[in-house]
Chains A and B, each alone.
Chain A
Amino acid sequence: EDKVVQSPLSLVVHEGDTVTLNCSYEVTNFRSLLWYKQEKKAPTFLFMLTSSGIEKKSGRLSSILDKKELFSILNITATQTGDSAIYLCAVITYGGATNKLIFGTGTLLAVQP
């Protein structure tokens, strides 16, 4: 059965800290890996990773994928209180005629002032 596992489940840090969130996966027919940020309801898209070793960067956030070891990390530097959210990792798998997203449980990040 396809699965995506995120760690840690929750994390409390202080403003200015750097955090690393982990995502490992075991799926058949891997297409790509996505990171989303969920603050209240709608997950908002952060990154899509399809190739190993190529870092994606957006401001203080960056992410990289290792397709050999089947994991990805999301780094947030100089954290701010506005980074507090659930960070979801999802893998797109090909199943029959189309693709679908398989999500991990998420990492709840709390950034304290």
Chain B
Amino acid sequence: DAGVTQSPTHLIKTRGQQVTLRCSPKSGHDTVSWYQQALGQGPQFIFQYYEEEERQRGNFPDRFSGHQFPNYSSELNVNALLLGDSALYLCASSLMRGVLRGAEAFFGQGTRLTVV
């Protein structure tokens, strides 16, 4: 049983460019959340997707957008990249019924994005 998988593992982009990160949730999971983890910081919640809709969003600008597909996989898009967007981007998957009762989420290995 594959866990949460993310691609690519590493990425280098130039300021102003756009990037798309991908996440496949753990088998059977229907909810995907995205987090940004800057160096030396804990992960910060970006948004959560369920039933192909954004259900909740953290304090991130509109440059950060996402999508969830019918097979529950998800994409995170970041436009007009800034140097400050350099971070580890983590995807977490869970079951919505577990989310609602406060159950744990399972994380992927993350995508290390470097903006130069």
| A-to-B contact residues, CB < 8 Å | 4, 6, 31-32, 34, 36, 40-45, 48, 50, 88, 90, 92, 95-106
Q: Are B102 and A99 in contact (CB under 8 A)?
A: yes
| B-to-A contact residues, CB < 8 Å | 4, 31, 33, 35, 40-45, 48, 50, 55-56, 58, 88, 90, 92, 96, 99-110, 112
A44-B107, A45-B106 given; A99·B99 CB < 8 A: yes
Q: Are A43 and B48 in contact (CB under 8 A)?
A: no
Work out how many contacts link A and B, with CB atoms closer than 8 A: 74
Q: Are A31 and B102 in contact (CB under 8 A)?
A: yes
CB<8 Å pairs between A and B, sample of 15: A36-B107, A41-B109, A41-B110, A41-B112, A42-B108, A42-B110, A45-B106, A48-B103, A50-B102, A95-B56, A97-B55, A97-B56, A98-B55, A98-B56, A106-B42
Chain A residues with Cβ below 8 Å from B109 are 40-42
A40 and B90 CA atoms in complex are apart in Å by 12
Query: CB within 8 A of A100: which of B42, B48, B101, B112?
Result: B48
Q: Are A42 and B107 in contact (CB under 8 A)?
A: yes
Chain B residues with Cβ below 8 Å from A34 are 104
Q: Are B88 and A41 in contact (CB under 8 A)?
A: yes
Q: Which 10 pairs from chain A and chain B are nearest by CB? A: A31-B102, A103-B42, A32-B102, A41-B110, A92-B102, A41-B109, A42-B107, A98-B55, A42-B109, A45-B104
A48 and B56 CA atoms in complex are apart in Å by 22
Query: Which of A4, A31, A92, A101 has the most B CB atoms < 10 Å from its CB?
Result: A101
